[in-house]
């Protein structure tokens, strides 16, 4: 069975669930964003890669929990070329996550304690396809408990099961990685600094996942994405509509590659624009 055929039933069920719960959403936010930076890296090369990034994102809460969906399109410059081509590579990366709220299921504050306002069970998948020489075709499943802290804004922490399969066109094989633990956090805080601002992002720490497609041992990976955005729409009487600001990506041991390989440490600022609808 091919990776795509394994993914299609999962994706169809996720999208059906997303469609059904979106109609019954108690709250939701959707936006399209554009990012641009020139300090990205790809494993195997220490060259700086310029990337254009376009995101379409949806998050919504319904009776029993929340749905999250993100589709990202990434275009590299000639420092990260498409396979057998001088042109920059293209990548599509899709994430779907569902969190079942135990507090909502219990109908009360049963799972509120100390600094925690809710406990949830999260499950989802990531999928990507990239047309460079490596030819990534990632499929990962993620599941586990997470807590949401009682703060003015959003702060969560999850301890998750992580399982990945991928493609390695250079080694000429499909790679079935070992299961690994993942520690994951998400945050979103609003504050005022002349104009309303948002500080948001996520960070993952993923443990070693066995051997890679070349037979080498993988390393634990740290991956952080964060943004500091000004609510420009508020100045025009359209709050929470148009945002602009700075993004930052930090990665250590990208894709589980050891630090001895060039291009596995990333420190990449970017410019970001968002339009919410």
Per-residue model confidence as pLDDT tens for the chain (277 residues): 444 444 445 444 444 555 454 556 899 999 999 999 999 999 999 999 999 999 999 999 999 999 999 999 999 999 999 999 999 999 999 999 999 999 999 988 889 999 999 999 999 999 999 999 999 999 999 999 999 999 999 999 999 999 999 999 999 999 999 999 999 999 999 999 889 999 999 999 999 999 999 999 999 999 999 999 999 999 999 999 999 999 999 999 999 999 999 999 999 999 999 999 9
Looking at residue 26, what DSSP letter applies?
Answer: S
pLDDT at 4: 43
Yes or no: say if 273 and 230 are a contact pair by the CB < 8 Å rule. Answer: no
Q: What is the 3-state secondary structure (H, E, C) of the chain?
A: CCHHHHHHHHHHHHHHHHHHHHHCCCEEEEEEEEEEEEEEEECCEEEEEEEEEEEEEEEEEECCEEEEEEEEEEEECCCCEECCCCCECEEEEEEEEEEEEHHHHHCCCCCCECCEEEEEEEEEEEEEEECECCCCCCEEEEEEEEEEECCCCEEEEEEEEEEEEEEECCCCEEEECCCEEEEEEEEEEEEEECEEEEEEEEEEEECCCCECCCCCECCCEEEEEEEEEEEHHHHCCCCCCEEEEEEEEEEECHHHCCCCCCCCEEEEEEEEEEEEC
pLDDT at 108: 83
pLDDT at 177: 98
Yes or no: say if 104 and 83 are a contact pair by the CB < 8 Å rule. Answer: no
pLDDT at 24: 67
pLDDT at 167: 97
Cα–Cα distances in Å, from 37 out to 34, 50, 51, 91, 92? 10, 6, 6, 16, 17
Q: Which residues of 207-232 are buried (b: 16+ CB within 10 A; e: fewer)?
A: bbbeebbeeeebbebbbbbebebbbb
Rg for the chain (alpha carbons), in Å?
19
Cα separation, 98 vs 122, whole angstroms: 6
| Residue span of the structural domain in which 254 resides | 3-276
pLDDT at 243: 98
Pure H helices in the chain: 3-23, 102-106, 232-235
Query: How many structural domains compose the chain?
Result: 1
pLDDT at 11: 46
Cα–Cα distances in Å, from 227 out to 15, 67, 124, 176, 272? 27, 21, 23, 33, 8
The domain that contains 224 carries what CATH number?
2.40.230.20
């Amino acid at each position: 069975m091919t990776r795509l055929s394994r993914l299609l039933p999962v994706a169809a069920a996720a999208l059906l669930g997303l469609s059904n719960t979106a109609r019954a959403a108690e709250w939701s936010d959707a936006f399209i964003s554009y990012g641009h930076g020139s300090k990205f890296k790809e494993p195997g090369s220490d060259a700086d890669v310029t990337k254009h990034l376009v995101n379409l994102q949806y998050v919504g809460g319904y009776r029993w929990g929340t749905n999250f969906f993100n589709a990202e399109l990434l275009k590299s410059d000639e420092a990260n070329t498409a396979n057998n081509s001088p042109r920059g590579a293209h990548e599509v990366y899709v994430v779907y996550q569902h969190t079942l709220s135990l507090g909502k299921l219990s109908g009360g504050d049963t799972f509120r304690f100390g600094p925690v306002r809710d406990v949830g069970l999260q499950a989802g998948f990531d999928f990507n396809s990239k047309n460079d020489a490596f030819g990534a075709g990632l499929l990962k499943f993620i599941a586990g408990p997470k807590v949401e802290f009682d703060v003015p804004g959003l702060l969560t922490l999850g301890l998750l099961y992580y399982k990945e399969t991928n493609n390695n066109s250079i080694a000429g094989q499909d790679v079935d990685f070992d299961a690994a633990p993942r520690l994951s956090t998400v945050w979103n805080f609003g504050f005022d600094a002349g104009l309303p601002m948002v500080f948001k992002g996520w960070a993952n720490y993923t443990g070693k996942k066995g051997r890679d497609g070349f037979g080498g041992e993988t390393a634990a990976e740290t991956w952080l994405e964060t943004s500091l955005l000004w609510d420009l729409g508020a100045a025009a009487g359209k709050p929470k509509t148009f945002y602009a600001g700075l993004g930052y990506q930090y990665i250590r041991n990208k894709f589980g590659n050891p630090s001895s390989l060039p291009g596995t440490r990333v420190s990449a600022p970017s410019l970001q624009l968002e339009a919410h609808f």
